Structures are given as structure tokens and as C-alpha cells.
Structure 1
């Protein structure tokens, strides 16, 4: 060396975090020899696999690894010298500067190492009052804990010391008692490293929480388990800061909260639940469940993530109910059914639960040929099926309908328990789902779905899919997509505000028939029977009772509005009267009547099929009947089958005393269906008219007449008839008047027009257009 090492004020240690690629690590402090440098990886001393460059240099050097340390490993380089004297000065000998400098350099370097060691030692602050800090003798400290007395001197205390909270009224408690307030899974050996099997440790911790009634905490990290886990209901709650990775057998529940007992799991808190399956389920076994929550009552539950199961989370009423709880939902990923709301027995229930948030999603490559659902309402065979009062706030669904085949159902809500009531979802977001927000497979009632956003490539609507087993049209969808201003404003399709004032004499189909403006008359026993809309929709029939302010409707008759149902399948019927029963008839695009293979549904009552010859779908109760003292049957939705293109929607008499005052028909503001009557149809009109351009009125002498018979389908004796004439050119002389009467060559469907010259001289009328009008009399 040209000169001695210069020892600067540099700490003799350097720390690094490896990135998996770096091989060269600098040490900025000098060393005298390679043996003076200690190399550690993750705290372990290394003796090979590297070379050292820079020994004897004042600026330090570099360690070169032959293989880069793995990413995340801790690299420590520190100077550790042998404390020994390597020089000897002879009496009266030559004192060489270099030898002296080398000796002093080693002493300074050794002192720097001592200083670094002292920095990591427990010591008194320099400004502290001197105190006795010497350990007691071995016998005096054996089986005792190190402590400090009132003057800060070292002492020992019993292994069962007490603690005192620094507040008034606090009492002394042992450390063991304090630590036992909250249990940690790590107390039982759980590592959370994602490799070791933490299942036995987790189960031991859960059993301890139940035995002591304590709250259990599962700390950070991934806790792998090869066994299903059960947190008994006796535990006061659970907090998860990490996750459970289930690598156990299929067909099991990874985590069950509440093992079931005669008592409810009441007023408890479960936070941060996160359970993932090591491999995604094939979705074939519904016993493959991520989290089962059993018999919870008035609890708070936060689910952060559940992924890869056939059923992500199942809320279960088993021995008792699941109710009055709030669930905060996080990510439900790659589950066939994200959340299953379920009852297992006839003695259990699942009611009155609030759900906040939730993102239900599937990746595009997960079980692409299988249907998937976000939330399902279900029950075991024979179990209680009236799940009611479930409210969802802002759930999001990204269920991936596309795939092979593209007809895979990807529907946010599936109601298949059979009798759900009051299922309400607000602010629903749908991405890549089916064009249905819900599927109803039973008698669900009073369900409301507010769809805030649809992103299925283009807006295709968000209806309700009623399966063949559905018995009620119990759901209403409010699509907010670019139509918020129209919400809450149903569209009036047809209205008979005062039915009695609409009655008129209509004898086309019956000699003593009664017809009604804009409405068709239906028969409960038509002869034939007819096969199409024209045959079933009568212009007027007998057996109606016309009271002063109401119309009596017998059980064999019905009054209905005929609507074009090509695009609109949902209607709302409102009737004012007594003992009236809703009635629906459906017809296809060719106007042929549909049978019971295309059922219509009502919302608050079951639809009964009357069969041939009427082909009525009718409610099983009167609209003014009460349920529990409340007249909810008057709030009636009518849902037509997808095959229907035309429909007759109205009421019939529920008893012989039935009376109708008013009838109205509404639909969603998204639609404006046409009301079918008149024109080429025989029903719903009082006025008939026709024009005739084929009559050239001959020259008429004073007092002479000429007649013309004009065909007018539907005209009958007793109708008010009128005639008028307009010349092809010029002005008709007022001396000729035109009179009309029913009849002519036939007793019906014709009007005889008589032209009479009432002037005192001959009049030539010539060619023109004859207009004929007939009006049915009101009765």
C-alpha cells in the first residue's frame, strides 16, 4: 500500500434489500483484510458464494456474489475484526510512523465496532440520574422477571406481575389476564406464510375463543389450511387481517361461523372475512362453500373477499333464524353463486337483512359453459321459503355472460325459494350480464330492482325472467339508464273513468247486447269456441246490469282493453268497484289464442287457468279482497308471456253481485302500446261511417225522390243514422234533402238513403259523394 488506511467516521455496516438481479454490493467502510468483513443473508453468516474486493482501501470495497440473492432477501455487510495486538515496539528501537499509524488505525476501527454494538444495547441515557443497573445474582433473578424499582434501579418481580391502567378507578390486573382479553391465532402457532398448514392452529384458536367467549384475531398473512374450519357460536366474534387459503377436500365449507345450537349467535361482530380457494371449483358440487354464516341475529358482518367456490357465501337459517343483521360485502370472485340466502329447515327463517355494496364478478375463462348468479334465495326441500325484507344497496355484477355457449345465464338475482317477499335492490350496476336483473322461479312478491347502470356492450334492458314454475309477476324493474326523469311516472294506456257513461246499445253480437266505448266484451262460455282475437272479442253481449252509477258484471262476462303487446309485456291494472276478478287473454302475432303453455302472471295473487272455452288467465282472488286487513290485491301487475303479441286485459265478475265503476290500464314509461278497437275491429265503437262515390242522383221533379242502399257493417235498427251529399263540382242546391234509415235490401248492415226534392221546381243533383253515419244509442 502506498500509505496507511485512513479511518473516517463511517459506520462499519451496510444493509441492502436484494432485488433478485443485483450481484455487487458496496461496503463504504475500510477493512484491513478480507477476513475482517462479515457477510450475512437474512441474518445468517455466509462463508462462500461471493468474493471481496477492496481490502486495504480507505474508501471501502465491494462484495460480488456469484448468484444474485433472491428478491427480498436482506444483505448485511459489517466489519468484525479480531481484537488483538499485532505490533510490538522495542525499547530504544526505531518508532516508525507507518507502524504507529497502522496500530492506531486498527484501534480506531475496533472502537467504531464497539460503538456500533453499544448502540444496540440497553443502556441509561447520558442525562439520566445514576442508578444501580447491575443484574442481581443468579439465585436472585431465577424464575423472576426483570423490572425497575421506584428510583429506576434494576430489580426483579414475580412472574405474575400486575398492571394498572393510568386512569382513576382502575384496578390491578395480571399480564396473563390482560393478554387473554383478545386471542390471536398466532398464540396457537399460526404462521400466515402461505406454505405451512395453519389449519390445526386456526381450529385450536377458534375452539379457545369459543371456550373462553373471547374475540379471535387472525393476523396478517396467508393462512393455508387443509381442513375445514369452524368458529363456534360461543366465540364473541372474529377479526381477520390476513386471509384463509383453503386447500382442503372438495365438497366442504372452508369456514363456518356458528356451528348451530339452540341459542342464536346474537349481537356479534365478524370483520374482514377473506377466504380463497387454492384452485377454482368446477362449480358442480353445492357443498363446496367458502363461508357459511349460521343462525346470526343482530350481527355485523364484513366480508372482504371470497373466491373460487361453487357458493361463495351462504347465510343459513338452520335451527333458528338468520335475521336483523347488516352485511358489508366486498369482492365475490369466480363463484357460481356469489351469495346464497338459504334456510335448511321448516323451523328456520332468513329475514330482514341489509347488504351494503358487493362486487360479484367472474373472469372470462371461468367455467364458461355454466350459468352463474350473483345472489340466490333458496331453501332445502320442505324448509321455510318466505325470505322477506332483504335490502341491497349499490351491488355491482360483472358475471361474464359471453363464453361458449353465448346463451349462458349471467343474472344478478335468482329467486328460487318459492315465496320471497320484499326483496329490494337499489343502485344495481350490471356489466356483461344477461338482459335480466332477476330470475323468478316461484311466487316471489313485492320485489323492486333499481338498475342504475348497464354495460352489456349496449343497453338491452333489464327485465325479469319468469320461469315456467313462476306463479306471480312479483317484481318491478326501474331502469335509471338515461331515463331518470321518467321514473315514478307510469304511462296511462287506457282509461274508463266512468264505465256507466260508456255503455251503449250494441246488438251486433246479441240482440240485447251492451257495448262499451274503447272496450271489448269477453264471454266465459263462447260457443265454438273461437280460435282467434276476432272471435273472442265481442262488440257487445247481454247479461250486464246497468245501475245508476255502476255496471253489474256477471261471472260469465268480462270487460277488457285490447292492447298491442309486441314490445310491452308488463301492465298495471286498477279497478274501482266490488267483487271483481282480473282476467287476461293472450294472442300470438297471427292473433290466434294462446293456451296454458304460455302463462300470464299477476303480482299479488296466483293466476288460475280457466281452460277452454274461455281461455282466461284469471286471478284467484277479487281485487277488493283484503289480506291481513289490507287491500293489497288492488295493486296488481299483469305480466304477459313472451309469446303474446296481443292481449285482452280486464276484469270479470267474481260473484253475481260484482259491480264496476272505473277501470284503468297503465304500463312503464318506456313503452306506449297501442289500444286496439274500432277501424277494422268490431268492438269498442259507437259510431260507424262510410262514403259512397257511385251514386249519380237523377233529375228530380218537384216533390220527387230517389233512393240508394249503402252497405254499412254493424248498423242495426235503433241506431241513429244520418246522410249527407257533396257534389263532385259545384254547389248542391238546398232544395234536395237527404234522409237515412236503417234497412234497405237487408235488415242489417245497410242504410237506405232517400234524396227528396222539397222545392217547387225540378232539380238536377248529378254525381257526388254520399256520406253515411250511424251512432249506437247510449243506454
Structure 2
């Protein structure tokens, strides 16, 4: 027959005293399932953080903790079965020995638990007869002591203590003990706060009691040294500190953890006056070396006075739940590599809608000078939820002590390693920082940094560094210099009516004043700015008020971006795809190794022959029902000296109405069109030195002038700069039947009788392309 559990005469409970090193503890009694084992630390039942081994065996098994329990903590392993019958023997059915044995084993195990619990209970001696004494009713025993009268019967007595009443109407008498028990104090459990005694066990006992009773814990004045990490479970009502915890325990631990991990809720908490200092400065290598860790807070208020000398000063964590809708106030966050870390640990955690007030995030110049440091980090563990949304920072101050000028070691206020939307930092102060207010390494959108003051030893920069980012989602408002002038972006180029700017370039091609026309499949392919920018192309349809732009055509502004690297593109129409090209100082096209970024969508490299970057969606496509894609800023690569920025058709019927390009208010980039460039101008001109022959009365003379790109049907004129005569009439015509790109200038003597001979001068011709 099958083997079954044998229930021996073994007590179903075992207890150990942890030494801080041992992580595995045995239990000598059998359990049927892992859930049958109750695991306690100092009386608190644990729901996670361990693994039960050996369920279903007669000899028992072991419990393996994820991390060894701290030294001095009491580990209790106890069998706790659910008392319920799960099987039924059918009438006239087969009675299987295995089923019967399992039932009897379960009953014996349950009875062993009853025996174990009775052994800890008060009971009458077996020699006494009679039933168990009944307790007095609740009303009779309230605020009284339980005892025995002269006959040995259970009764109640007065506590013999004074009562107190609040001096207000409706107040009721209460004992002093009841009044004092409203809030727990760490000193009630033996904590001294003298800075020398190890107060760790006393502090942890106080925290356990606060959690077990659901009460508020108070840690008073003084310095409370601890050699063990501390945990205040989320079942406690909150924590108020007036003193400071001095952590001298093992590295790689959170000195103070508030709230439970897993799915435990940490709502409506008040944590005030928190202060934790590491006894020895961290070397900033281990990110598990944390001052204050707060788990899964929701609708809470947190006040942190100080967190100093750790790798991470303060860390908010979201795991099976998350952090949201809370206010956190910061004081001195000093000498930490990362002052504040907002981190998700699992795919089910989140980090949203938090309001961060104040904070002095600073480092001493001598603290780990070769290691980069950051004020605030938004991060996620591998595989964790990466969308951090809606964080508000009010008045944070950063004094991070960059090393060298302009700085060889990172000292950056904000580090965004995750995706998400909506980070607003108001009134940021930057002292001795890198020339970046933030670094983005992912696809974060809608981050606004209002920098109120910059004092970085001669450097006043406060840009955003996009190190490997896929979105240019940050905007800096530098209020520390000419705030009034910086409030409005500058209009660089405008085509308020694209259709009105169209002109006939030649018999088949259409051009646009002030803009270049580009092909998605240029022949060659070209390699330079002049090769990619056409003055006109075919396949563009002109409507009564709009332009139909196919997917193979783009219309764009050409700008000098040697100084300005950020532009905002605004387009009106339907199904338009943003595009941009980049060129170096020699006007050679830059390839995909020089990426650019759109602020609100991903950039896609099209490669040769088009060689442009475009957004991954049309400007009028909706995101969650909203036209967010219309809001596009483009951030160019550092090596770009010239750029082409515009739109192409998203499909064959795309319609373009207007196009505008903006830059920051401090910039005034040059727009390239005409003036020696072939694109963007209706007017062509050429000149040459010319000595007209002597013209008899009524006679004419002609001179051919080369004018590239002139076409039949262009409006042409001729003029002569030199000796003037009222009787010499200058006209021009496009040469037909001869050399292409030639204008014939004609001089006619309109005097009725006299011959005229003009002195040498300059003959100029001009052609204007007709409006289309």
C-alpha cells in the first residue's frame, strides 16, 4: 500500500534564537502542506520571506529564510491546521486504508495542537471537581483586576490605581495606564538613546508591539544606536521621531524599513521626524546599503529630517502594491550616492502621484570624489513595472559637489531610468552640480524642470542629458537668467499657408517659397545638403487651399543648427509624419549613428537613400483618444551643424495646410532658402560685364546670359548697370530652341534719328517662377 505520514509523539512547536547568520531552521514534526506551518519572528506571523521544505514527510523538514533573521530575534515554527473535514466515506462503499489513515493522522495532529495549546492555558488541578469557573461579564470586569476570593472562586477587584478625567464636558474617568497606553514609546522597552548602548533589540521590540497593537510608536530625544536593521510593520499606526537612529549594523541592509513587502497595504500612515545616520560613511558600492526604506505607502504623510552616509539615503519601494497619493517632506539628505530612489521591484508594483516637498540633497567634496552622485533617481528592478507617472517636486536644493570644471564626475540632480509621464520640478536650486539638471536614459515624457538658481563655479548650464534615451521628454525653464525673456519660444520660420507658397519650378515640378522639397527615394543617392534638398519635385497635388503630400515627398525648413539643437515643429493637416535630416559642418549627411529624438514619440531611422529620421506615428493619430502626437519637439545630435525639419505624407492622401518651426527664446538660428541655395526661392538672377554696340535709330542688339534653371513661362527681365539713356529699352526672353537655361537680353534704340553708343557696364537678368 502507499506510504502515509506517521504522527509520532512530537510537540508541534519548536523555537530558536537567531544569531544573525543562520537562515535555515528545522521543524521535527510532520505537516501535510506548506501552508500548515506558521512562522513567527518575535511573535509576529510572517506571510512571506521564507520557503517551507519537507511538507508531507513524517520526519518534518525545514524553513529557509530569504535572509537570515537578525541576531537576537526569536524564531517560532508551529503547526497550525485548519479544523475541517475534507473527505466522506460512502455507504456500502470501499473503505480504503490510505484514506482512513490520512483522516486519523490529521485528527491526531490536530489533537496534538490542542494538547500543546492547553499546556499553555490556566486550568484547574485534576484533583479539583466541578466545572471551569466563568469570567464575569465584560461590563463587570472593565478597568478591574481578575483574581480569586476567599473560596478560590474567580472574581474581580479594583485596580487600586487613580483615574483621570479630561477637563471638558463629556469626559469620562480613565486609568493612567490606559491613558499612557494610547501611544507606545521606545523607552518603554528599554531604549536609552545615549548613543553608546545597543538600542536595536529594544527598538525592534517596540516596533513589534506597535504593529501587534496597531498603535503609534514614539522614539524620543537622543541618539539611538543599533547594530541590527529595524522594521516597523505596516500594521503599526505610524512613527514619530525626535531623536536619531545611529546605524552601526552590517552593510548591505536598510537601516530602517517602514511597511511590509508583498501585498501588504501601508495606507493612511503618518511617519514624522525620521532621522537615520550611518555610523561609518558608505563606500557607495552596494545599493542595498539604504538609510530609510518605505514600502507601498498610500494616502500618507512622511517627514524625513535626515538620512546621511548611505549609498541610497531614502528609497520608496513598490512591489506587489505601490506608492501613490502621498506627501513626503525632506530635510538633510547628505553624503549619499543617490539621495532619493523611487523604485519598483515587481511587475505588479507602481510609483505614481507623489508630492515631494523641499530637501537639501548634498555631498561633501571629500566624500567618494571619484564616484558619480545623483539627487533623485526614478528606477525599476529588472522586469519590474517601468511607468512612473505624475511626480511633483517643490523647491528641492541640490549641492552635489561635482569634481573638476566643467566636471569629470557626474553630479546630476535627477536621473530618470524608467518610462512614464509627468515629472514637474519647481524652484530647483543647483549648486556645484554638473551642467545638467537631469539625465534621461529611457523614454520618459513630459518632464519639466524649473531651475530657479544655478551656481556651479562659473558654469550656468542646466540642460537635460539624453544618455541612451529614446524620447527627448524633458524641458528646462531656466529662471535664473532673464526669466521674462525665456517665457515664450521664438518663431524661427513660418508657412502659414503652404498652398499660397507653391510655384511652378518647371513643367512637372512644384516648389515652395522658403522650403525645401525632399524625395523618399532620391537618385544617386545624394550625400550632401544640396543634393537632398530639391527646389521642386513632381507628384505633389495642389488643391484649392491645401497641398496633397504623398508618402514619397517631404516639405521642410532647412536651418543652421550649429548652436541651437532643439526645435519645436507645428503642422496643420491630416496624416502627416514628422521627419528630420542632419548634416555636419561640411554639409555631409549624418547616418543612423547620430540619432535624434522626438519628445513625444519614438524616432525611426529610414536609412539610404532617404537618410532621414521620422516619428513612428502621424501627428494627428490619437493616443488614448487624445492628439498628443501633435506636440513634437526634436532634439538633434551634438554633431549636427545643419538640419532639415518638416513633414512627409503619412499615406497617399495626406493633406498639408501650414507649417511652423520654433526654437528656445535664447536662440535665433538661420533659415536657409535661396541666397545661393537652389531651393525655396522663386527668383533667379545672373549678370555679366557687357559693352553694348552702337545702335542706330530703331536698331536692336541681343546678348545671351546663362541663367540656370530658367524655364519657358518664367517671368524674365533685363537691366543694365552703366551709362543710361532714356531711349534705350531693355527687354528679356527665355531662349527657346537653343541652349537650355539661357535668357536673351535685348537692347532697342527708340530714338527716331540718332545713333546711341553706351559705355561698358553690367548686364543683369532676372527670372521669377510663376505661382502655381
Q: Provide the TM-score with structure 1 as the length reference.
A: 0.77
CA deviation string 1:89-114 (max 9, x = no partner): xxxxxxxxxxxxxxxxxxxxxxxxxx
2:689 is the counterpart of 1:707: no
Against the structure 1 CA distance between its residues 447 and 259, is the aligned structure 2 distance closer, same or farther, given a 3 Å change threshold? same
- Measure, in 2, the Cα distance between the counterparts of 1:492 and 1:329: 40
CA deviation string 1:487-525 (max 9, x = no partner): 331100000000000001113xxx511110110111111
2:746 is the counterpart of 1:754: yes
- Measure, in 2, the Cα distance between the counterparts of 1:264 and 1:602: 39
The 3-state SS of whatever aligns with 1:200 is helix
Which residue number corresponds to residue 289 of structure 1?
Answer: 290
- Measure, in 1, the Cα distance between the counterparts of 2:226 and 2:190: 13
CA deviation string 1:584-606 (max 9, x = no partner): 10111111111111111111111
CA deviation string 1:453-494 (max 9, x = no partner): 1101224321110112x1111111111122111233110000
Which residue number corresponds to residue 335 of structure 2?
Answer: 334
Pairing 1:261-272 to 2, within 5 Å after superposition: 261-272=262-273
Deviation at 1:744, TM superposition (A): 7.8
- Measure, in 1, the Cα distance between the counterparts of 2:561 and 2:415: 26
CA deviation string 1:107-150 (max 9, x = no partner): xxxxxxxxxxxxxxxxxxxxxxxxxxxxxxxxxxxxx9xxxxxx
- Measure, in 2, the Cα distance between the counterparts of 1:451 and 1:224: 39
Contact 2:297 2:323 in 1 (8 A): yes
- Measure, in 2, the Cα distance between the counterparts of 1:707 and 1:252: 94
Structure 2 residue ranges without an equivalent (≥5): 1-144, 146-157
Which residue number corresponds to residue 670 of structure 2?
Answer: 674
Pairing 1:82-481 to 2, within 5 Å after superposition: 158-403=159-404, 406-417=407-418, 419-468=419-468, 470-481=469-480
- Measure, in 1, the Cα distance between the counterparts of 2:185 and 2:216: 9
- Measure, in 2, the Cα distance between the counterparts of 1:618 and 1:397: 37
- Measure, in 1, the Cα distance between the counterparts of 2:235 and 2:604: 49
Contact 1:350 1:387 in 2 (8 A): yes
Contact 1:369 1:405 in 2 (8 A): no
- Measure, in 2, the Cα distance between the counterparts of 1:451 and 1:514: 47
Deviation at 1:261, TM superposition (A): 4.7
- Measure, in 1, the Cα distance between the counterparts of 2:187 and 2:405: 46
Deviation at 1:437, TM superposition (A): 0.7
Pairing 1:682-693 to 2, within 5 Å after superposition: 682-692=678-688
Which residue number corresponds to residue 39 of structure 2?
Answer: none
CA deviation string 1:658-700 (max 9, x = no partner): 00000000011011111111112111111122333x2111110
Contact 1:376 1:415 in 2 (8 A): yes
Which residue number corresponds to residue 485 of structure 2?
Answer: 486
- Measure, in 2, the Cα distance between the counterparts of 1:746 and 1:428: 70
CA deviation string 1:730-754 (max 9, x = no partner): xx22222111122389633332111
- Measure, in 2, the Cα distance between the counterparts of 1:438 and 1:406: 15
- Measure, in 2, the Cα distance between the counterparts of 1:672 and 1:733: 45
- Measure, in 2, the Cα distance between the counterparts of 1:524 and 1:427: 45
Deviation at 1:702, TM superposition (A): 1.9
CA deviation string 1:388-427 (max 9, x = no partner): 000000111111112599411111111102x121000011
- Measure, in 2, the Cα distance between the counterparts of 1:670 and 1:163: 70
2:723 is the counterpart of 1:723: no
Pairing 1:437-586 to 2, within 5 Å after superposition: 437-468=437-468, 470-507=469-506, 512-586=508-582
- Measure, in 2, the Cα distance between the counterparts of 1:400 and 1:745: 76
2:605 is the counterpart of 1:613: no
Contact 1:368 1:404 in 2 (8 A): no
Which residue number corresponds to residue 773 of structure 1?
Answer: 766
Contact 2:686 2:766 in 1 (8 A): yes
CA deviation string 1:35-63 (max 9, x = no partner): xxxxxxxxxxxxxxxxxxxxxxxxxxxxx
Of the structure 1 ranges 623-632 and 645-654, higher mean CA displacement relative to structure 2 is found in 623-632
Which residue number corresponds to residue 131 of structure 2?
Answer: none
Against the structure 1 CA distance between its residues 421 and 568, is the aligned structure 2 distance closer, same or farther, given a 3 Å change threshold? same
Contact 2:472 2:597 in 1 (8 A): yes
Pairing 1:6-155 to 2, within 5 Å after superposition: none
Q: Which has the higher Rg, Structure 1 or Structure 2?
A: 1
Against the structure 1 CA distance between its residues 598 and 287, is the aligned structure 2 distance closer, same or farther, given a 3 Å change threshold? same
Contact 1:389 1:423 in 2 (8 A): yes
Could you list the structure 1 runs, at least 4 aligned residues long, displaced by more than 6 angstroms after superposition.
none
- Measure, in 1, the Cα distance between the counterparts of 2:499 and 2:488: 28
Contact 2:447 2:473 in 1 (8 A): yes
Against the structure 1 CA distance between its residues 405 and 591, is the aligned structure 2 distance closer, same or farther, given a 3 Å change threshold? closer
Contact 1:252 1:288 in 2 (8 A): yes
Deviation at 1:627, TM superposition (A): 1.2
Aligned CA RMSD, in angstroms, stands at 1.6
Deviation at 1:720, TM superposition (A): 0.9
- Measure, in 2, the Cα distance between the counterparts of 1:727 and 1:612: 51
Which residue number corresponds to residue 648 of structure 1?
Answer: 644
Aligned length: 615
CA deviation string 1:308-359 (max 9, x = no partner): 1111111111121100000011111111111001111111111000011111
Structure 1 residue ranges without an equivalent (≥5): 1-143, 145-156
- Measure, in 2, the Cα distance between the counterparts of 1:753 and 1:745: 16
Contact 2:428 2:450 in 1 (8 A): yes
- Measure, in 1, the Cα distance between the counterparts of 2:749 and 2:405: 83
- Measure, in 2, the Cα distance between the counterparts of 1:321 and 1:489: 38
